[in-house]
Structure 1
Amino acid sequence: MLPTASTHRASPGHLHTQKWRGRIGLAMVAALSVLAGMTDAIGFMASGDFVSFMSGNTTRLAVAISDGDMSLTLRLMILVATFIVGNALGVVIGRLGGRRALPLLLCIATLLCGAAAWPSEVQLPALLAAIIAMGMLNAAVEEVNGLAVGLTYVTGALSRFGRGLGRWIMGERRNGWRVQLVPWSGMFIGAILGAVLEHHLGLKALYASGLLAALIGLVSLKIPRRWQLGYMPR
């Protein structure tokens, strides 16, 4: 018997599941973006260097090169390279952990707490640990219901939101562009929290980031495995 047109339509149950998968995924994005913003603000205020905003460090690197400041040039090159290493490690740990968020987030929590415990007289090792953690964070969620999301950078999110707004003004009614404000809002709120914590605790405020990473990891145990497989990089 040939399939009827109704056979190809998504069932109400499937649509309900997809809706909840999207909502849970966006909640995860929001929480992880808060973590990224908090950690970046703490690192920046404590050391003057970004730990997740590599666009900023790249611009500073270019300026340092033009000024002939070799010490700062070398430092920034190490920071950018460390972030790349963190991204690679995030994929590796994500794969070894069965593409579950918990093992990855526990590794991130360990790195952040280790950075907080490092003696404040020598900040660079702590800074590098935090940067590796933020690089790894990008492997926790890559897309939600087919929509690409970024966790430790928001320029892409704002750009996708702006392009979606332009299409909406021109009469197009595509879905998904509004959710790009979720990672931006999360990172903004997290940065405010991180700045407040750094004022009181200095680099030790990274303990709060580590605890938040572990908490998000534990909460992720409630997310169905098949949904996590859709969130994390393949």
Structure 2
Amino acid sequence: MLPSTSTHRASPGHLHKQKWRGRVGLALVASLSVLAGMTDAIGFMASGDFVSFMSGNTTRLAVAISDGDMGLTLRLVILVATFVIGNALGVVVARLGGRRTLPLLLCIATLLCMAAALPIDAQLRALLAAIIAMGMLNAAVEEVNGLPVGLTYVTGALSRFGRGLGRWMLGERRGGWRVQLVPWSGMFIGAILGAVLEHHLGLRAMFVSGLLAAVVGLLSLTIPRRWQLGYMPR
């Protein structure tokens, strides 16, 4: 069961609701991580650039600078800056949408479908639209029952899992560290699906990412608003 900061003397009913809030939150995290992994794999295979994995693009940027490749350097600077802008826009859209998941995911779905619909010779514009969408995605869920989660990057999740494993090996029985595998597993499965789709559809596979974002957004209507407020950034 996920840990809480307010379970002291909590009633059984409260603990039951909190347990379900955690399960629903993790299901949402898993779904959105699949979306992120799928989109990243499609973008990477179609263009050679990462759509959500900015650690990879940052390393590539450093290599491009050391090689004196100004064209690639400029391209990667634009990609990283676009991701930052996407994160900022995600918070803005989330706030304007009353911190509800649906408006945010519909915006993301629109951007992904735009990326898929652009002509082949407009690949950079398609890539930028997808990167903005992935940046915005991080505003959909920031934490679940007090546990930080990442949707478009998994290094932090694996690091938190590994540290939790180390504490468990030392005899500490803190909860919550195992759930860090949820976003990693979701992104891994999504990347496999994205790679298969890109093989058959190319960059048009982004339409599937857009459809998934819209479907998850509609399903989020079944999540109590109070729970959504707890998932999204303040």
Instruction: Provide the TM-score with structure 1 as the length reference.
Output: 0.97
1:119 corresponding residue in structure 2? 119
TM-score, normalized by length of structure 2? 0.97
Match for residue 23 of structure 1? 23
Distance 2:159 2:103 in 1: 31
Partner deviation per Cα, 1:173-222 (whole Å, 9 max, x = no partner): 00000000000000000000000000000000000000000000000000
**2:177 is aligned with 1:177:** yes
- What SS does the corresponding residue of 1:121 show, helix, strand or coil? helix
Corresponding position: 1:12 with 2:21:
no
Matched to 1:78, the amino acid is I
Q: Distance in 1 between matches of 2:181 and 2:225?
A: 26
Number of the residue aligned with 2:202: 202
> In structure 2, what is the Cα distance between the partners aligned to 1:80 and 1:221?
32
Show CA shifts across 1:5-38 (max 9, x none): xxx6100000000000000000000000000000
> In the alignment, residue 174 of structure 1 is paired with which amino acid?
R
2:94 aligned with 1:94: yes
1-side partners of 2:122 and 2:232: how far apart?
35
CA RMSD of aligned residues (A): 0.5
Report the counterpart of residue 146 of structure 1 in structure 2: 146
Alignment of 1:102-117 (within 5 A): 102-117=102-117
What SS does structure 1 have at the residue aligned with 2:122?
coil
Deviations 1:96-123 (A, max 9, x none): 0000000000000000000000001220
CA distance in 2, matches of 1:128, 1:110: 13
Deviation at 1:64, TM superposition (A): 0.1
**Aligned equivalents of 1:86, 1:123: Cα separation in 2:** 18
- Whole-Å separation in 2 of the counterparts to 1:149 and 1:31: 13
Once the two structures are TM-superposed, the CA of residue 225 in structure 1 deviates from its matched residue by 0.1
Match of 1:84 in 2: 84
Distance 2:50 2:194 in 1: 13
Which residue number in structure 2 is paired with residue 216 of structure 1? 216
- Deviating 4+ runs (over 3 angstroms): none
CA deviation map 1:111-164 (0-9, x unaligned):
000000000122000000000000000000000000000000000000000000
Tell me the SS of whatever aligns to 1:164: helix
Deviations 1:18-64 (A, max 9, x none): 00000000000000000000000000000000000000000000000
In structure 1, how many angstroms separate the alpha carbons of the residues matched to 2:170 and 2:211? 45
- Matched position secondary structure for 1:185: helix
Count of aligned residue pairs for this structure pair: 227
Matched residue type, 1:66: S
Q: Work out the percentage of aligned pairs sharing the same amino acid.
A: 87
Find the aligned partners of 1:63 and 1:115 in 2 and give their Cα distance: 27
